[in-house]
Chains A and B, each alone.
Chain A
Amino acid sequence: MATFTIDGSEIEIVPGKNVLQTAIDNGIYVPHYCYHPGLSAPANCRMCLVEMDVGGRRSLGPSCSAMPADGMVVDTQSDVVKENQNAVMEFLLVNHPLDCPVCDQSGECELQDYSYTYGTDRSRYHEKKLVQPKKDVGRHVLLYSDRCIRCTRCIRFCDEVSGTGELGYFNRGVYNEIDVFPGARMDNRLSGNTVDICPVGALLDKSFLFKQRVWFLKSVDTICPGCSTGCNVRADYNNERIYRLAPRENPDVNEYWMCDDGRHGWGYVHADDRLLFPMLGRGEAQELALWEAALKATRAGFERVRSEYGDGAVAGIASAHLTNEEHYLFGSLFSNGLAGGPVAVHTRLSDEGDVTFKGGFTIHGDKSPNSRGARTVLEGLGLSLAEPPEIWRGIAEGRIRGLYLLGGDPLASLSDEEQTALATLDFLVVQDIRARSWTAMADVILPGAAFIEKDGTFSNFGGRVQRVRRGLAPVGDARADWEILRDVNREMGVEAAHDRIEAVMADLANAVAAFEGVDDDDGGDRGKPLVEIEAAGA
């Protein structure tokens, strides 16, 4: 076993992992700007210099581009190292505007943090500062070049990950400047990541600009619901509002990235057309109702249809926008209280299909976060799934007279034929988050929750089960969908002792073989592959 030492600790060499990353992974922090684990390492910021001794030859060098060698001795705390860190901080600030009070990055800025730790409290710079311009470089992104420290992470991102190459490094020396080609725009669909990886306040997200001081934000780790990639994200919120989504590292799913569609796709959570209260009655007759009444009406409506037309006359359309736990409860309902009718899963597909970028990141054409999980759960419960068109045909032909329609897809659409069919139903329950043309046709509206308003799990395209977490309370009188489904189950006389989401998970893990073990913990930081996937891979 090859080893080397960092600050006196003997550490095993992981082939392919540089000195910097190895140190950090072993709890020894080495400050750095240009290095990012998802990009190539140009070693240009000079912040990560450490002293390395190989075979008695000690030299100062960048830990980001140095690979550990057997017997190497690394010193991250020597006087020479500290002197350099101090010097680099001084150099980085000479032309920096020091406009922290009005900078969006303030509070999460590596220039601030490193100044605090490695810098000095005064400046010796008496010359005129070089002031670079502020630029509008793309649909989502601003570049305040005066704050830029030229680490070039953003350029490398566009070259290596998005493969779109919109950003260039212009001029020479201190006049070096990052910019787009004049007249061109950085409008690639991953552009927001450049803001995340900018260690300072140079690249800014227009939608977040001047909206919040970051220290007021609270965060929750969750999953982007924008497509079946299942990017691990952190949702930052305050005062019952989301302010931004940012990717969390997950090498098995999204590495360090997310797409702009997902990053900016949460606006519907705070839209005016959110369904706020349960409602009863169709069309103009729709009236607000209490949950108790809505649940009773749901039971009464379905029982009436079943007694009049038979058990097979009540169908369910599940939604790949809802969680595995919610599908467990929905499946349970259609295996028990509403057993007999056909069940299908609504999934939304984009026309463009999967879009894969140079670095391997993929935006999936399946715009639902849980298609795979929805089917696995429902089939695991013994239901044989119909395809949605069969249900629509059943309605049009009058075989299906009652429908439980799950929504949750903020951008769902129904064709004219489908909407016409809905109008012919004897009884329609819509559980959704936004008011749509067809919610007016519902006899009962059950207002559900957006992803940020509930707990549960999504299974991404590859079958990885990942944890969705609640940051905000559901709007108005809306409820988490799993709570609604639990209550409908209870109303229909199905045993459902699920006061907590963990209880649903535990039952799901017991009931569906593929989910065995997912309730052991939160699914871990990086989610868990479905057991069946693991088995197939073994």
Chain B
Amino acid sequence: MPEEHKIITEGFGVDGLRTIDVYRAHGGYTAIEKAFGMSQDEVIDEVRESLLAGRGGAWFPAGVKWGFMPKEPREPSYLCVNADESEPGTFKDRHLMEQNPHQMLEGTIIASYAMRVSVAYVYIRGEMFEARRIVEKAIAEARAAGFIGRDILGSGYDLEVYVHPGAGAYICGEEMGLIQSLNGNRAEPRAKPPFPAQQGVFERPTTVNNVQTLSYVPHIVNRGADWFKGIGSERFPGTFIFCVSGHVNNPGMFELETGSVTMRQIVEDFAGGVRDGRALKAVIPGGASTPPMTPDQIDIVMDPSNFLAPGGGDFQGMFGTGGIIVMDETSCMVDALLNFMVFFAHESCGQCTPCREGCPWARDIVWRIENGLGKRGDLDTLLDIAHNVGPYLCPPSRLTTICGFGGAFANPIHGFVQTFRDEFEAHVEEGRYPVKQDKSTRVPG
């Protein structure tokens, strides 16, 4: 059985790791000194060569993204740390911030230096009170130690880092939604172009990076691009944190090399298998936006390149954010889809017509089906709604909405209804599917 390869979760559980002293005793803040000895472009090149890709789910090469930022900024530019983790099933960023905030901060400072930004904002999800307190304390410690502020380490480079709290909106995890929210607006993602690197926060050049992505940066700077490239898969090297929840014996997060384990190994070996000796029914591979996988599909090696999205792989599914939700044989798929529909209808920002109207419409249809009020034709309508908001595994070129939320909403509908069509039809025909559930159902509200 493969083992965890701990890079960014290394030391989790060590007493006091979240304080600067312990972090430094574990080699923390050495990368920053090394980075400041390099030119900004050398740092960007190192990250680009490492092939570090965005761990927020899009897997866009971080070094390339950094390279979009102006080399000689004539106006202030910004880095936003996307710590608005809210994809159902995902909880890695919370732990990365709560257990090792300085690692993320060090990565943030190095990234800021490389991109020549003047202020970095850590946009932390409003409900994460603990993470916010810990990160704020870490910032204060780093400032006191001279890693944040004026003339950092005598380099002449000035940087401020602030925490910006969210207030309960999933859409703030979307790059443009986050920028709008930080600008003091409703988090309605703005149409691109202009792209954030041209016009983002405060209408200035901006880069948004995920907590996990930035947490790798100190390690890459310290150990070099070649070291990182040597880990995991060729195309998406490094490790990835898989978060497993639901009906498993050992829920939790596991830092694994990309392309090194199968979904079955994650579920059965790392997460201890389905609990209570029950049979596996479905696995959500990477958050609510990803279509479910059936037991016969989980021998796939977990690497983004094997999935159609984002890697263009053979498997007609989506890799997602690593938020793996396991469902056993007692799970009702209509109930599960309803759960997501309630989620998406609640979180749609509502600016684009298809998403605003389509999300609650789909929710209401699924609610009827789940509650024995389904009609013939409902499933076709449901699939049509999903298709009209976002064709299955919709590439950006076919999105009918401004941001990817539409596709995120549509994917589970396509996935659930297509994969478990019999179960949905039985609900419609018989009023309710004869699954003996031991969980209650939520209703829209």
Q: Per the CB under 8 Å rule, do A and B touch in the complex?
A: yes
**A-to-B contact residues, CB < 8 Å:** 42-47, 49, 57-60, 62, 65, 80, 83-84, 87-88, 90-92, 94-95, 124-128, 130, 149-150, 152, 169, 171-176
Complex CA distance for A442 and B62, rounded to whole angstroms: 86
Q: Does B359 contact A (CB under 8 A)?
A: yes
Residue of B nearest to A127 (CB): B364
Query: Contact at B354–A46, with CB atoms within 8 Å?
Result: yes
Residue of A nearest to B364 (CB): A127
Which of the 9-residue segments B4-12, B113-121, B303-311, B396-404 touches chain A?
Answer: B396-404
Query: Contact at A46–B398, with CB atoms within 8 Å?
Result: no
Residue of A nearest to B358 (CB): A91
Which residues of chain A are within 8 angstroms of B381 by Cβ–Cβ distance?
A: 124
Complex CA distance for A49 and B364, rounded to whole angstroms: 27
Residues 100 to 133 of chain B near chain A (Cβ within 8 Å)? none
Residues 366 to 422 of chain B near chain A (Cβ within 8 Å)? 368, 375, 377, 381, 384, 388, 396-402
Q: A174 and B351 in contact (CB under 8 A), knowing A43-B402, A59-B397?
A: no
Report the minimal beta-carbon distance from A201 to chain B, rounded to whole angstroms. Answer: 17
Interface residue range, chain B: 35 or more
Which of the 9-residue segments B154-162, B260-268, B340-348, B434-442 touches chain A?
Answer: B340-348
A and B contact pairs by CB, cutoff 8 A, 10 listed: A43-B402, A47-B353, A49-B400, A57-B397, A60-B399, A124-B381, A127-B360, A172-B350, A174-B345, A174-B356
Q: A46 and B353 in contact (CB under 8 A), knowing A65-B191, A169-B186, A173-B359?
A: yes
Which residues of chain B are within 8 angstroms of A149 by Cβ–Cβ distance?
A: 353
Query: Contact at A174–B360, with CB atoms within 8 Å?
Result: yes
Report the minimal beta-carbon distance from A97 to chain B, rounded to whole angstroms. Answer: 14
Residues 328 to 355 of chain B near chain A (Cβ within 8 Å)? 345-354
Which residues of chain B are within 8 angstroms of A174 by Cβ–Cβ distance?
A: 345, 348, 350, 356-357, 359-360
Which residues of chain A are within 8 angstroms of B368 by Cβ–Cβ distance?
A: 127
Complex CA distance for A49 and B191, rounded to whole angstroms: 12
Known interface pairs A88-B400, A127-B361, A127-B365; 12 further A-B residue pairs with C-beta atoms within 8 A, sorted by A's residue number: A42-B191, A43-B191, A44-B402, A59-B398, A80-B398, A87-B354, A91-B353, A94-B361, A152-B351, A172-B349, A173-B346, A174-B350
Q: Does B190 contact A (CB under 8 A)?
A: yes
**B-to-A contact residues, CB < 8 Å:** 169, 186, 188, 190-191, 345-354, 356-361, 364-365, 368, 375, 377, 381, 384, 388, 396-402
Query: Contact at A176–B398, with CB atoms within 8 Å?
Result: no
Complex CA distance for A95 and B360, rounded to whole angstroms: 11
Q: Which of B188, B190, B377, B400 has a CB less than 8 Å from the CB of A87?
A: B400
Residue of B nearest to A59 (CB): B397
Complex CA distance for A44 and B364, rounded to whole angstroms: 23
Q: A42 and B354 in contact (CB under 8 A), knowing A59-B398, A84-B400, A125-B361?
A: no
Query: Contact at A94–B397, with CB atoms within 8 Å?
Result: no
Residue of B nearest to A174 (CB): B360
Report the minimal beta-carbon distance from A57 to chain B, rounded to whole angstroms. Answer: 7
Q: Which of A80, A88, A128 has a CB less than 8 Å from the CB of B353?
A: A88
Which residues of chain B are within 8 angstroms of A150 by Cβ–Cβ distance?
A: 350-351, 353, 356
Q: Which of A49, A59, A80 has a CB less than 8 Å from the CB of B396?
A: A59
Query: Contact at B349–A173, with CB atoms within 8 Å?
Result: yes
Which residues of chain B are within 8 angstroms of A130 by Cβ–Cβ distance?
A: 360
Which residues of chain B are within 8 angstroms of A125 by Cβ–Cβ distance?
A: 361
Query: Contact at A60–B400, with CB atoms within 8 Å?
Result: yes
Report the minimal beta-carbon distance from A39 to chain B, rounded to whole angstroms. Answer: 14
Query: Contact at B356–A176, with CB atoms within 8 Å?
Result: yes
Complex CA distance for A128 and B186, rounded to whole angstroms: 27
Residue of B nearest to A170 (CB): B186
Which residues of chain A are within 8 angstroms of B190 by Cβ–Cβ distance?
A: 42
Which residues of chain A are within 8 angstroms of B186 by Cβ–Cβ distance?
A: 169, 172
Complex CA distance for A89 and B358, rounded to whole angstroms: 12
Complex CA distance for A125 and B347, rounded to whole angstroms: 22
Complex CA distance for A172 and B360, rounded to whole angstroms: 12
Q: A46 and B350 in contact (CB under 8 A), knowing A87-B388, A91-B388?
A: no
Which residues of chain A are within 8 angstroms of B354 by Cβ–Cβ distance?
A: 46, 87-88, 91
Complex CA distance for A47 and B354, rounded to whole angstroms: 10
Complex CA distance for A296 and B200, rounded to whole angstroms: 76
Residue of B nearest to A96 (CB): B357
Which residues of chain A are within 8 angstroms of B356 by Cβ–Cβ distance?
A: 91, 150, 173-174, 176
Report the minimal beta-carbon distance from A199 to chain B, rounded to whole angstroms. Answer: 12
Which residues of chain B are within 8 angstroms of A91 by Cβ–Cβ distance?
A: 353-354, 356-358, 361, 388
Which residues of chain A are within 8 angstroms of B349 by Cβ–Cβ distance?
A: 172-173
Residue of B nearest to A58 (CB): B397
Query: Contact at A173–B375, with CB atoms within 8 Å?
Result: no
Which residues of chain A are within 8 angstroms of B353 by Cβ–Cβ distance?
A: 44-47, 88, 91-92, 149-150
Q: Which of A57, A83, A175 has a CB less than 8 Å from the CB of B350?
A: A175
Complex CA distance for A88 and B347, rounded to whole angstroms: 20
Complex CA distance for A42 and B359, rounded to whole angstroms: 20
Query: Contact at B357–A92, with CB atoms within 8 Å?
Result: yes
Q: A42 and B350 in contact (CB under 8 A), knowing A91-B358, A91-B388?
A: no
Complex CA distance for A278 and B377, rounded to whole angstroms: 75
Q: A176 and B350 in contact (CB under 8 A), knowing A91-B357, A150-B356?
A: yes
Q: A46 and B348 in contact (CB under 8 A), knowing A95-B357, A128-B364, A173-B359?
A: no
Report the minimal beta-carbon distance from A428 to chain B, rounded to whole angstroms. Answer: 63
Complex CA distance for A91 and B365, rounded to whole angstroms: 14
Which residues of chain A are within 8 angstroms of B358 by Cβ–Cβ distance?
A: 91
